[in-house]
Amino acid sequence: MAIFIFRRLIRMITVLFGISFVVFGFIRALPGNAAVVMLGERGSPEAVAALTEKLGLNKPVFLNLENPSQLLDAQYPRFMGRLLSGDLQVGINSQIPVADELKSRFPATVELTFGAMLFALLIGLPAGIIAALNRNRPLDNTAMAISLVGVSMPVFWLSMVLVYFFAVVLKWLPPSSRLDSDLKIQTVTGLFVLDGLIQGKLESAFNALKHLILPSIALGTIPMAIIARITRSSMLEVLSQDYVRTAKAKGLEYRKIILKHTLRNAMLPISTIIGLQIGTLLGGAVLTETIFSWPGLGSWVYQGITERDYPVIQGGVIFAALIISVVNLLVDLSYAYLDPRVQYG
């Protein structure tokens, strides 16, 4: 187990290094200058040149090949030196340390991810199980048709439809943000619903929950559809195994056969897809957070992209890659619990 974890950590570091290299190169390959974006069209050439020099954008991107004695006097080596020392730099526009922004915005993304995955699991798992137990019957066809629609709908379109019907027409739920402007919650965990309950502010907790519903449904629809289809496929494969037929022949209770012998053995591919979806959502759901004005990682990185804020983009993408890598490692480690036959070497 220790050797397996060590190897995975080495791979994780390699992947993060590669991602940092690619992201750093791509955002600087885009046309335009961050200094021009910051100063606007009225910025004088002198002001643009001064800001470019201040930000170090006038230096070579990867290596200073013109001056071999100062080969590492370039943007990327300086960035990696700061990154390895734990310095994610300061946002160009906000002048707030990127690390502080991550700490303040990550809980919002965690809360949205939890809400989206709760919705996806509550709907997707039962739908997949019911579809498998009623193969090629109306319930199966209906469940798979709904999952196909769910995985096919663009998130931005579904978000706008939900806002229009439930916030504008019916006025049942708020259209954006995490909390009404006249309510306050003292930050403990950063999860507003939980913080409201901890502090005994039930009105604020309920209000935060209402704000969470629409973005959770919008964000959780695609994972829900994927989980339903994977659950159905995995359940059908297990139901055809000999030990399931033997359990039926012995006259075991049907519910026990499904929950103990079938569902648990079908959980390996299901847990894999759940882990992948959680990692992706924790990395920041850009469209959903932007449409619902949700102050999480996704909307923050999107704002950084529009403003050409290099430290924000770099810090956000690398942090998202780190989260996805850690979640995938935890999913791999969970295999031994779900299936004792799995051995790590």
Task: List the domains of the chain with CATH numbers.
Answer: 2-84 (no CATH), 103-338 (1.10.3720.10)
The pLDDT confidence band at residue 36, using thresholds 50, 70 and 90, is confident
- Mean pLDDT computed over 283-307: 86
Quote the CA–CA distance of 293 and 312 in Å, as a whole number.
18
Contact 291, 177 (CB under 8 A): no
Model pLDDT, residue 121: 92
The pLDDT confidence band at residue 9, using thresholds 50, 70 and 90, is confident
Q: What is residue 164's DSSP assignment?
A: I
Model pLDDT, residue 336: 67
User: CA nearest 233: which of 273, 281, 260?
Assistant: 273
Identify which has the larger pLDDT, 42 or 263.
Answer: 263
pLDDT in tens, 321-339: 888 888 888 887 777 666 6
- Mean pLDDT computed over 205-228: 92
What is 181-223 written as a DSSP string? TT-----SSS-HHHHHHHTT-HHHHHHHHHHHHHHHHHHHHHH
Which residue type sits at 59?
K
Determine which of 19-28, 40-49, 74-83 has the lowest per-residue pLDDT on average.
40-49
**CA end-to-end span of the chain:** 7
Quote the CA–CA distance of 2 and 105 in Å, as a whole number.
33
| Cα distances (angstroms) measured from residue 272 to each of 81, 333, 335 | 35, 11, 9
Contact 163, 147 (CB under 8 A): no
Is residue 250 over pLDDT 90?
no
User: CA 27: distance to chain centroid?
Assistant: 21
pLDDT in tens, 114-123: 999 999 999 9
Instruction: Report the 3 state secondary structure along 263-289.
Output: HCCCHHHHHHHHHHHHHHHHCCCHHHH
Quote the CA–CA distance of 37 and 43 in Å, as a whole number.
9
The pLDDT confidence band at residue 10, using thresholds 50, 70 and 90, is confident
- Mean pLDDT computed over 12-24: 87
Which residue type sits at 219?
L
Is residue 215 over pLDDT 90?
yes
Contact 86, 98 (CB under 8 A): no
The pLDDT confidence band at residue 166, using thresholds 50, 70 and 90, is very high
Is residue 308 over pLDDT 90?
no
The pLDDT confidence band at residue 148, using thresholds 50, 70 and 90, is confident
pTM of structure: 0.85
- Mean pLDDT computed over 77-89: 84
Quote the CA–CA distance of 284 and 12 in Å, as a whole number.
19
Quote the CA–CA distance of 7 and 237 in Å, as a whole number.
32
* Cβ neighbours around 251 below 10 Å, total: 7
User: CA nearest 293: which of 183, 176, 208?
Assistant: 176
Is residue 276 over pLDDT 70?
yes
* Cβ neighbours around 96 below 10 Å, total: 12
Indicate the helix (H) or strand (E) that contains 305. Answer: helix 297-306
Q: What is residue 296's DSSP assignment?
A: S
